[in-house]
Structure 1
Amino acid sequence: PKAMGGSGEGTNPEQLFAAGYSACFQGALGVVARNENADISGSTVTAEVGIGKNDDGFGIIVKISASLPNVDAETAKSLIEKAHQVCPYSKATRGNITVELAV
């Protein structure tokens, strides 16, 4: 990114991480939904990844947003919280980065 001294052209590491994390999270959401007999057809997951201040100076900050049009808000929230527990990216980074979940 230009803000960090780069040219601003091409794909940066944060974008690549976001693509991988959102795809992995979508898979975890599918596993959880099958176990809960929930209809997540038409669902989408996006991840926004950036660098921000934390207790140690700077670190990775992630916001995972999920749209689950075929379930109510309470069910959607429960499903993404459970997906966050089984997603391999979430497991690998737990306690190391800030992750916000949004429906």
Structure 2
Amino acid sequence: MNKLDKVLYTARAHTTGGREGQSRTDDGRLDVKLTSPGGGGQGTNPEQLFASGYSACFIGAMKAVAGKQKITLPQDLSVDSEVDLGPVGQAYGIAVRMNVSLPGMDKAAARQLVDAAHQVCPYSNATRGNIDVQINVV
């Protein structure tokens, strides 16, 4: 297990009701209704939140790597992420696919950047060896 050298930020959320509930951050910036995947409710679900969080974090990691390597990223870069939920034996698990779009960037350079970002991204480091993560350059 990796221990943090220093805490830079702590996110705090209060959740009630599980997948059919409500979650709110302590600063009120996020206040969401939760609904099970495929359910009829109006809320989001943990898998959608994970997909959004991981893709946003991954873009941040690409920007950090690009800054250190003096690489200019395309303004319209994007990540489309998919998080699958399914059974793993008697438990449940997730799998992730991310399609990274770096328009106008050389494919080999884009692949190197994505691979380097995957090494520094906190979500990538948290999931490495635990779930299937596929990162594609599209």
Does residue 71 of structure 1 match 2:105? yes
Return 5+ residue gaps in structure 2 as ranges: 1-36
Contact 2:74/2:105 (CA < 8 Å) preserved in 1?
no
Q: Deviations over 1:18-68 (max 9, x none)?
A: 010011000000011112222213211221111145578642110111111
Quote the residue 1:15 is aligned against. 48
Q: TM-score, normalised by structure 2?
A: 0.65
Alignment partner of 1:45 out of 79, 101, 120: 79
Structure-2 change in CA distance of 1:96 and 1:26 (3 Å): same
Q: Which amino acid aligns with 2:59?
A: Q
Larger radius of gyration between Structure 1 and Structure 2: 2
Q: Post-superposition, which runs of at least 4 consecutive aligned residues in structure 1 deviate over 3 A?
A: 52-58
Quote the residue 1:87 is aligned against. 121
Q: TM-score, normalised by structure 1?
A: 0.85
Greater RCO, 1 or 2 (C-alpha within 8 Å, sep 6+): 1
Higher helix share: 1
Q: Which amino acid aligns with 2:50?
A: F
For 1:98 and 1:46, the matched residues in 2 are separated by: 16
The range that moved more, 85-94 or 37-46, is 37-46
For 2:113 and 2:87, the matched residues in 1 are separated by: 29
Contact 1:39/1:71 (CA < 8 Å) preserved in 2?
no
For 2:96 and 2:43, the matched residues in 1 are separated by: 20
Q: Which amino acid aligns with 1:97?
A: I
Return 5+ residue gaps in structure 1 as ranges: none
The range that moved more, 89-98 or 46-55, is 46-55
Contact 1:49/1:62 (CA < 8 Å) preserved in 2?
yes
Quote the residue 2:58 is aligned against. 25
